[in-house]
Amino acid sequence: MPQRSSQDPRLPSQGTGERVLPADPIDDRRGGVAPPSTERDASAPGRAPTLNDEDFRVAFELAPLPMALISLGGQFLKVNQAMCKLTGYGENDLLEMNFRVLTHADDLASELPLVGQMVSGEIDHYEIEKRNYNARGQTSWLLKSAALVRNRTGEPSHLLVQYLDVSERKMFEDRVRYYADHDSLTGLRSRRVFEADLAAQAARCERYNEQAVLMIVDVDGFKQINDQLGHRMGDAVLVGVANGLMARVRAGDLTARVGGDEFAAIMPKIDEPVRKRIIQDIRTAVESSVTRSVGAEIRATVSIGLAPMSAEHCDVEVLLVEADRAMYADKRSRKKAREQSSGAAAEEAIRGQGSPRGDAAKTAHAPGRRE
């Protein structure tokens, strides 16, 4: 590992092998904390301790929170034991690193301007929640608090930084946010989020002349399923519908559970030829998924309604009403078709069975029969 020269103005050696910072006074006006000198000044009662003072060294090294001194260029100058434990790196390894290496790329762009504002005097400290990598390549969420330290002449010298691991809080917040935005049973979007998505899609249609489709899916006879088979089976049916929808829609389509047994999807960039086959494709996928979820002995069907969206036809309330009407029209027509099919089948069965007396009469009067 490269060794720093004792002539390095950033890290002068005191002959003890310990890395210490240049002599920088505390700037009380800016709230910085830094060792002003390696020499004791008995005529300065109440002066701040230096890195060589035992109390200051122990406080820094044994602080329960990770702490570091970082150059304006981002190089670690001094780290404590808690910082090593947090990152999984040894002290010497960290002192060869720049904090940028440990910072998630998506968060680095947010932090660097804050450092620039501190150096220019716009702010004297900052706090930021960011993701950091550890030695195993894993990420954790940290609250980073940084204060600027100035030298004798008032020029920016380095940063005093403290870290707090907030990973558990972030996970809890993410969970709360997820369940606020998603249906807990199916994992699909909630109605509230879906309505916002629909308004956004309508705006895109109007502004960019984009075409899309609003689809409503309703489970037929769901109340009877719940009443006769129980809520557990009803939940399994709903999960099957959700899985079927997710398996059939595209990655960019937005799906939601918007009611007890009602689902919806926004399907952007769908033109008229494609619309004609969407209903049957979705129905087949959903009903097959329900069969896999609850078994072949229970046949759950769905009714589907579509409302096309365009620049001329993008009023959200009107679209919801149209999709709902189309869904109920589909439900009625399929119910009528089933009833007609059942009636025709019953008549056929009756004709096929015939009556014993009629059959005997036909036999008695058959041509060529001799008594």
* Cβ(71)–Cβ(10) below 8 Å: yes
Residue 206's contacts (CB-CB under 8 Å, 6 or more residues apart) are: 311, 314
Strands of 198-334, DSSP E: 212-219, 254-257, 262-268, 302-309
* Cβ(122)–Cβ(152) below 8 Å: no
User: What's the distance, CA 356 to chain centroid?
Assistant: 71
pTM of the model: 0.63
* Cβ(73)–Cβ(98) below 8 Å: yes
| CATH 3.30.450.20 residue spans of the chain | 1-180
Residue with tokens 């199916």: 186
- CA distances to 62, 102, 159, 163, 363 from 116, rounded to whole Å, are 30, 19, 12, 20, 107
pLDDT tens per residue, range 28-64: 333 334 444 444 444 444 444 455 567 777 888 889 9
DSSP secondary structure of 205-229: HHHH---EEEEEEEETTHHHHHHHH
Strands of 111-260, DSSP E: 125-133, 139-150, 156-165, 212-219, 254-257
Q: What is the pLDDT along the chain (371 residues), one digit of tens a residue?
A: 444 444 444 443 344 444 434 434 333 333 334 444 444 444 444 444 455 567 777 888 889 999 999 999 999 999 999 999 999 999 999 999 999 999 999 999 999 999 999 888 899 899 999 999 999 999 999 999 999 989 889 899 999 999 999 999 999 999 999 999 999 999 999 999 999 999 999 999 999 999 999 999 999 999 999 999 999 999 999 999 999 999 999 999 999 999 999 999 999 988 777 887 888 899 999 999 999 988 877 888 999 999 999 999 999 999 999 999 999 999 999 988 878 776 665 566 666 665 554 454 444 444 444 43
Q: Which CATH class is domain 182-333?
A: alpha beta
Torsion of CA 139, 140, 141, 143, to 10 degrees: -120
Instruction: Name the DSSP class of 5.
Output: P
pLDDT tens per residue, range 10-22: 443 344 444 434 4
Domain 1-180, what fold? Answer: Beta-Lactamase (3.30.450)
The one-letter amino acid code at 9 reads P
| CATH 3.30.70.270 residue spans of the chain | 182-333
